[in-house]
Amino acid sequence: MLEIARQIRPRLYDIFCEKPKPLIPRYLCYGVPERIDYAGQVVRPLDEDAVREVVRAIRKENVEAVAVCLLHSYVNPAHERRVGAVIAEELPAVFVSLSSELCPEMREYFRASTTVINAVEMPIVSRYLDLLENRLSGIGVETGLNLMASAGGIISSQVARREPVHLVESGPAAARSPGSTRPVYSRSGRAAPGRTPGRPATDAAATSRRSPTRTCSWDASTRDTSWAANFRSILSWRRRP
């Protein structure tokens, strides 16, 4: 299913249209015997021996993150949670993203593709935030770190590590409305130069309530990224760089 994806594409009748490459290659996608129906009833119990066999098989691939997506797990997440527990037991250093926790909605492909994107980003965002928080601590910023989310709100660094997919395209969401005159303060306490309307003011900001001198801001330019997440059913693995 991940290779086939959906019919959605920029030019529906363009026979020369090329699909973006999947984020995870087919040979790193695995399935295990199990089935939960649309009502959440267990039709076929999860085969844990098969799950452990798959985990042992992919251990040699030096994976860094795992995305788990089972059919109808948005109704009954029991099997997905058990798969996640087995992975955590066998591969404790690997990041795990469960579709039933991240995006508990119907439509398997969209739920799976979101979970795959999240898994791919988890190790990258985690390393970046570790570095960022260490540097902020080094310059005396003691407040918690919040990041802009693509929905327009903010999320903590802990949530961002667990669900980094919410940071995708968060830059445009952070842009100030045209005509806004609210200043963005630099570390010196002086207002930074005005921003171009529609450009992201900040992608991440750590702010102290004591004074503007503790406010740090980072500009971030956005780029158009075509996400192609292919995923048939159960497990997908991300190789370490």
Q: Is residue 63 located within the same domain as residue 104?
A: yes
DSSP 182: -
Mean residue pLDDT across the chain: 76
Query: Of residues 87 and 11, which shows the higher confidence score?
Result: 87
**107 part of a folded domain:** yes
Render pLDDT for 127-141 as a digit per residue (tens, 0 to 9): 999 999 999 999 988
pLDDT greater at residue 121 or residue 185: 121
What's the confidence (pLDDT) of residue 8?
77
pLDDT for 69 equals 94
Tell me the residue range of the domain where 202 lies.
Answer: 130-217
Q: Are residues 105 and 160 in the same domain?
A: no
Question: pLDDT-based confidence at 13, cuts 50/70/90?
Answer: confident
Domain co-membership, 230 together with 201: no
**At 59, phi and psi to the nearest 5?**
-60, -35
* CA 137 remoteness from chain centre: 25
Say what the pLDDT of residue 175 is. 67
Let me know if residue 144 belongs to a domain: yes
As a whole number of angstroms, the distance between CA 119 and CA 2 comes to 15
Cβ atoms within 10 A of the Cβ of 141, count?
18
Assigned domain for 91 exists: yes
Residues 203 and 151 occupy one common structural domain: yes
Asked whether 159 and 147 are in contact (CB, 8 A), the reply is no
| Claim to verify: residue 231 and residue 117 sit in the same structural domain | yes
Sheet containing 235-239: order of strands:
29-30, 235-239, 63-68, 95-98
pTM of the complete model? 0.70
CA 207/CA 220 separation, integer angstroms: 17
Domain count across the chain: 2
Domain-located, residue 9:
no
Quick one: what percent of the chain has pLDDT higher than 70? 71
- For residues 201 and 61, give the distance between their C-alpha atoms in angstroms, rounded to a whole number: 40
Residue 215: is its pLDDT beyond 50?
Answer: no
Burial class of residue 11, CB neighbours in 10 A (0-12, 13-18, 19+)? exposed
Whether residue 42 is found in the same domain as residue 87 = yes
Say whether pLDDT at 199 is over 70: no
For the segment 217-227, what is each residue's pLDDT rounded down to a tens digit? Answer: 222 333 333 33
pLDDT tens digits, 152-196: 888 999 999 999 999 988 877 776 554 454 544 444 444 444 343
Both tokens of 167, joined, read 């940071």
Domain identity same for 79 and 114: yes
Q: Give domain status of residue 210, yes or no.
A: yes
- Max alpha carbon distance in the chain (Å)? 64
Residue at 141 is within a domain: yes
E strands along the chain, which residues? 29-30, 35-36, 42-44, 63-68, 95-98, 146-148, 154-156, 204-206, 216-217, 235-239
Could you tell me if residue 61 is inside a domain? Answer: yes
Residue 73 lies in a domain: yes
Dihedral angle of Cα 23, 161, 166, 84, to the nearest 10 degrees? 60
Domain shared by 116 and 170, yes or no: no
Q: Strand order of the sheet with strand 204-206?
A: 154-156, 146-148, 204-206, 216-217
Q: Would you say residue 57 has pLDDT above 80?
A: yes
Same domain, 202 and 234: no
Q: Let me know whether 144 and 233 are in one domain.
A: no
**Whether residue 233 sits in one domain with residue 159:** no
Q: Both 105 and 155 in a single domain?
A: no
- CA nearest to 81, candidates 105, 58, 104: 104
Q: Which of 100-109, 146-155, 213-222 has the lowest mean pLDDT?
A: 213-222
